[in-house]
Amino acid sequence: MTVLDNIRVAQHHRLGYGFFDSLLRTRRYQTRESEITREAHELLQVFGLSAFADEYPRNLPYGTQRKLEIARALSTHPSLLLLDEPAAGLNAVNIKELIGLIRWIHETFPVTIWMIEHHMDVVMELCSRIKVIDFGQTLAEGSPEQIRTNPAVISAYLGDDTL
């Protein structure tokens, strides 16, 4: 599927028409498909992906693919956006762009963002509340400053044997 189709297909959970509408290409089908396409184009524009609308995602740079994944998730109008290691595999420039993108999403969309991330610089810069888990157990919970100075976190993740 193309980049545009990736965004469009994510919206089909709220089609508003049935099998026969689609089979007969009724007015309801045409109207709703037009709305879905318009909304998908708007989202591509907002995310700076319009130029890639007819491309296949596999042909895009990795950082752009990640941006498409997030745009596709947001096209479902979620109340909670779970980002599972969004910085994984990104270079320093892409990570900086990702931080800006996540911050912009938080300010622009009515969505709560939960993030699982191992890049601590990303976590510390973006999160107002952090929960550190080690081997399935909560190690610490609090603000970035509380986490940064927590002896148990330092010991578990930085290997400080002096604690």
Q: Do 134 and 123 meet the contact criterion of CB atoms below 8 Å apart?
A: no
Identify the pLDDT of residue 160: 61
Identify the pLDDT of residue 163: 45
If residue 5 lies in a helix (H) or strand (E), which one and from where to where? helix 3-10
Confidence at 149, pLDDT banded by 50, 70, 90: very high
* Domain extent listing, the chain: 1-77
Identify the burial level of 3 via C-beta atoms within 10 angstroms of its C-beta, where 0-12 means exposed, 13-18 middle and 19 or more buried.
buried
Tens digit of each residue's pLDDT (9 = 90 or more) over 9-42: 998 878 888 889 888 999 999 999 999 999 999 9
The amino acid that residue 25 corresponds to is R
Place of tokens 């096209």: 75
Tell me, yes or no, if the pTM score tops 0.95. no
Tens digit of each residue's pLDDT (9 = 90 or more) over 75-98: 999 999 999 999 998 899 999 999
Instruction: Dump the DSSP string for 74-121.
Output: HTT--SEEEEESTTTT--HHHHHHHHHHHHHHHHHSS-EEEEE-S-HH
Q: Which residue has the higher pLDDT, 53 or 158?
A: 53
Task: Give the integer Cα–Cα distance in Å for 95 and 77.
Answer: 24
Tokens describing residue 76: 């479902």
Identify the pLDDT of residue 38: 95
Count of CB atoms situated within 10 Å of the CB of 127: 17
pLDDT at 124 over 90: yes
Identify the pLDDT of residue 54: 98
